[in-house]
A and B are shown apart, each in its own frame.
Chain A
């Protein structure tokens, strides 16, 4: 625990952290980019999730939706992460103490695990159900879980600002 605090303190004392804290335009502008990136992450991943659940675009193959949506998701996720890190380093000790922040990080990790499991296990058989209007239970479950986790990430993120 003390080790974590020491590392966070060290990050807190970096010149870049101080700059983001002190220059009044830094936080609002970084946060604006962060939020715009997040709505694209959420918007694109939930479209794929809903296709996996058999709720939208039932007449189109799952792989087609996946190829169309995932570039949006990945590019936006990288941008959201970079700008999120910059926001976080301006007050890492404060965020560490906010439960919503910690839960948000755990939910992102869980979303990542869900995605990896889906990619390397469930999605390997996609050839058999690519054109199914309603994919098999494992795929529907992965979609529902992904959607729930990303909505949770967004909700926790929004609530960080209210405590």
Chain B
């Protein structure tokens, strides 16, 4: 199914325009999209880094987790939206490079898990700003989630960078 979708997407007009490297203006689309993508990766990574280290009790103790989250969550969601848009542009330009790539697939699975943890952070503190401080069990749970989240986000960034090296289309 993914194979069929990839072939269909590769044949579309949109894909042809975005992957046209003969014109300077269209050649620019992908590097520019990647630069915007990277800026948003920077926003997300420092934000989840700050949030998770705060939960782990390593840094950021001047603010409560809820205060920090109130400030950073809008940045995370805005950046993730732009990441989705630029990522889609890059995927439409070269569907085979992304959709059939083990680095890309790994990244998407890790991303869903990491976003799920972020949604948990958001919904719990909206319900109760001190949610994660209410009991030792919850504090332990928060530390576990924070550790997993950190590993997931680092994994997402690593898988993203490695997509370029795991593109095996030309070797098939």
Contacts and interface: CB of A to CB of B under 8 A. Distances in A.
Contacts of B60: 68
B122 interface: no
Contacts of B157: 32, 35-36, 39
A43 B161 contact: no
A105 B45 CA distance: 24
Contact of A158 (B38, B43, B45, B154): B38
- Residues of A in contact with B, size category: 20 to 34
B138 interface: no
A151 B35 CA distance: 9
Contacts of B59: 68, 71
B49 A35 contact: no
Contacts, number: 65
A159 interface: yes
A151 B39 contact: yes
Interface of A: 28, 31-32, 35-36, 38-40, 42-44, 46-47, 56-57, 60, 64, 68, 71-72, 151, 154-155, 158-159, 162
Q: Per DSSP, are chain A's interface residues mostly helix, strand or loop, or mixed?
A: helix
Contact of B38 (A39, A47, A64, A68): A39
Contacts of A71: 59
A64 B62 contact: yes
A36 B46 contact: no
A39 B158 contact: no
A31 B31 contact: no
Interface of B: 31, 34-35, 38-39, 41-47, 49-50, 59-60, 62-63, 71, 154, 157-158, 161-162, 165
B74 to A, nearest CB: 11
A93 to B, nearest CB: 23
B38 A154 contact: yes
Contacts of A39: 38, 41-42, 45-46, 157
Residue from A43, A46, A56 having most chain B Cβ neighbours under 10 A: A43
A154 B46 contact: no
B161 A158 contact: no
B158 A42 contact: no
A43 B38 contact: no
25 contacts: A28-B162, A32-B162, A36-B45, A36-B157, A36-B161, A38-B42, A39-B41, A39-B45, A39-B46, A40-B42, A40-B49, A43-B42, A43-B45, A44-B46, A46-B42, A57-B71, A60-B62, A60-B63, A68-B50, A68-B59, A68-B60, A72-B46, A72-B49, A154-B35, A154-B42
